[in-house]
Amino acid sequence: MTMKPILPFLSVGLLFLGACGLEKPPASLKFPDDKKEAAAPAPDAAPAAAAPAASEAPADPKLAAGKTVYDASCAGCHEASMMGAPKPGDKAAWSARIPQGLEVITKKSLDGFQGKVGMMPAKGGNASLTNEQVSSAVAFMVDKSK
Ligand code: HEC
């Protein structure tokens, strides 16, 4: 074969142009001086919407406030089921807990407790939370898990 490599390349390009009636060769056949254009950055993809940590905010203001507390102070363990922390929405993990009643569950969350699967620190380890903030977070978690 004595044909220079450029020839089949060109004829493919010409065939292509003839077949499709393109004015410019397709990007893959561009010559070096077209590189700048070819290398132009594609327009940035729209930034992905920030995924909510747990779910959409509930309509009930107490539950919505609870979700904010939960995302900031409780999700670290509970969203990952760390050390057995029950994940909101995991009905199996909550079905034995909910019958205790919201009051008992809330008190245990305020005081902390050693349970069968792990240790829940008082106020989730965030002493700066008010009792109301913790109880809102508990209400949010329980509501999501019923
Ligand atoms: C350091 C990890 C950790 C953090 C942070 C944490 N928890 Fe927990 N939580 C646990 C674990 C572990 C359990 C399960 C304990 C068991 O039953 O053995 C638990 C259990 C619970 C329960 C179930 C109580 C019951 O009676 O069964 C509630 C409600 C709860 N946590 C609320 C919260 C709230 C509200 C926050 C944030 C203010 C929080 N937790 C932060 C580890 C954590």
- State the average pLDDT over residues 37-54: 51
Whether the CB-CB separation of 29 and 38 falls below 8 Å is answered with: no
Whether the CB-CB separation of 117 and 40 falls below 8 Å is answered with: no
Closest CA to 97 of 56, 28, 144, 55: 144
Give residue 13 CA to ligand 1 midpoint distance, Å: 67
How far is residue 110's CA from residue 40's CA, in Å, rounded to a whole number? 57
Whether the CB-CB separation of 90 and 123 falls below 8 Å is answered with: no
How far is residue 106's CA from residue 70's CA, in Å, rounded to a whole number? 13
- State the average pLDDT over residues 16-36: 52
How far is residue 12's CA from residue 18's CA, in Å, rounded to a whole number? 10
Say what the pLDDT of residue 5 is.
56
Closest CA to 87 of 74, 72, 105, 103: 74
Higher-scoring residue by pLDDT: 1, 74: 74
Q: Which atom of ligand 1 is nearest to the CA of 69?
A: 38
Pocket test for ligand 1, best of 68, 78, 87, 100 (most atoms within 8 A of CB): 78
Whether the CB-CB separation of 74 and 66 falls below 8 Å is answered with: no
Whether the CB-CB separation of 144 and 89 falls below 8 Å is answered with: yes
- State the average pLDDT over residues 12-32: 50
Say what the pLDDT of residue 1 is.
54
Name the closest-CA residue to atom 2, ligand 1: 77
Report whether pLDDT(14) > 60.
no
Question: Pocket residues for ligand 1 (CB within 6 Å)?
Answer: 69, 73-74, 76-78, 82-86, 97, 100, 105, 108-109, 115-121, 123-126, 129, 134, 137-138, 141
- State the average pLDDT over residues 48-58: 61
Q: Which atom of ligand 1 is nearest to the CA of 105?
A: 26
Report whether pLDDT(45) > 60.
no
Give residue 63 CA to ligand 1 midpoint distance, Å: 17
Say what the pLDDT of residue 56 is.
79
In tens, the pLDDT along 90-143 reads 999 999 999 999 999 999 999 999 999 999 999 999 999 999 999 999 999 999
Specify the amino acid at residue 85. Answer: A
